[in-house]
Structure 1
């Protein structure tokens, strides 16, 4: 009798344990990593006389170029992509994912400041350089985007260059779009660049 009672108690205890395990919630699966921000495609750049070609997305900050924002964008959390045409026209998009929205807001402000002071810094580095920098306003998309132009010329060299720039933010992600070619502002696709900037911010997330 005692052996039977022990066996029954053991079976009951085993049944309770199995029931408890069955009722215990399964361990939560790890949340999937958020998708990285999306870059512009070649077809989303301002219209050009020859087609745009998109380069690969690369990690970190660009090794050269981006003279206005060099030293402002952190390498951590940053990727960039270059675009080119068969003519003397090029573009670049840089995307940085900051640790927090507050840090992204600060970065966006610092990038805007770098663009606003860029022409003065270029003149200091290149005596004889002339130019005009303009702010073309805010684009109402996500946390906003801001468009600038820098028109430069070097009379001694007889060269003129026009650059269009924008800084936009969506949450903790900041993007900078740059476009440049030989020529002056009146020949630049300012309206098209505004549309490109809007698309760039909208595609981030």
Structure 2
């Protein structure tokens, strides 16, 4: 009888333990990391006489270049990618994920303001520089994108350069696309750059 009672008590204890374990919630699986915004690929750049080559995606903001927007986007939350062709045409995309949508709106506004005043700042630094800056309108994609061009020249040496720029936003993510080469605005692929900008913003997520 004693052995039977011991066996029953052991069985009951085991059952209670199993029941208790069943009631303990399983550890929650770790939440997946949020998707990082995607960059343009080489074949999504404006058409060129020679193929585009895309460099690696790098963390932070560019160490050099981007004269119109340097110092605006923070290094934290930013990544960038450079593109080039064999004919001295180059481009760059920078993407910044802001902590909040409000911060992203502010960043986009600051980047646009920096582009709008860029030529005047360049002329102050170099009185021999001449040029024209134009705003080419808004693109209706996600929260919108805005296009600019800056045409610069040095009459004394006959050098001319044209740059195309855009700022776009999707939620709390802001992207800047830059394109540049020797020449003038009438030789720049403005229509193709508009398409590239639309793709850049739509492709983020």
Q: If the length of structure 2 is used for normalisation, what is the TM-score?
A: 0.94
**How far did 1:83 drift?**
0.7
CA–CA separation in structure 1 for the residues paired with 2:157 and 2:104: 39
Structure 1 residue aligned with 2:106:
106
In the alignment, structure 1 residue 81 sits paired with structure 2 residue 74 = no
Structure 1 residue aligned with 2:149:
149
**How far did 1:26 drift?**
1.4
Q: After superposition, where does 1:1-205 map in structure 2 within 5 Å?
A: 5=5, 8-205=8-205
Once structures 1 and 2 are overlaid, which stretch shifts more, 153-162 or 186-195? 153-162
Q: SS in structure 2 opposite 1:51? A: coil
**How far did 1:40 drift?**
0.6
Unmatched tracts of structure 1, length 5 or more: none
CA–CA separation in structure 2 for the residues paired with 1:15 and 1:181: 77
4+ runs deviating over 4 angstroms: 1-7
CA–CA separation in structure 2 for the residues paired with 1:5 and 1:98: 67
CA–CA separation in structure 2 for the residues paired with 1:34 and 1:157: 51
1:17-72 Cα offsets, whole Å, 9 max, x none, are 21132243311100111222111111000001111111111111111110000010
Once structures 1 and 2 are overlaid, which stretch shifts more, 23-32 or 171-180? 23-32
Unmatched tracts of structure 2, length 5 or more: none
CA–CA separation in structure 1 for the residues paired with 2:9 and 2:116: 81
Q: SS in structure 2 opposite 1:83? A: strand
CA–CA separation in structure 2 for the residues paired with 1:145 and 1:6: 78
CA–CA separation in structure 1 for the residues paired with 2:21 and 2:58: 48
CA–CA separation in structure 2 for the residues paired with 1:96 and 1:32: 20
CA–CA separation in structure 2 for the residues paired with 1:171 and 1:23: 41
Once structures 1 and 2 are overlaid, which stretch shifts more, 5-14 or 28-37? 5-14
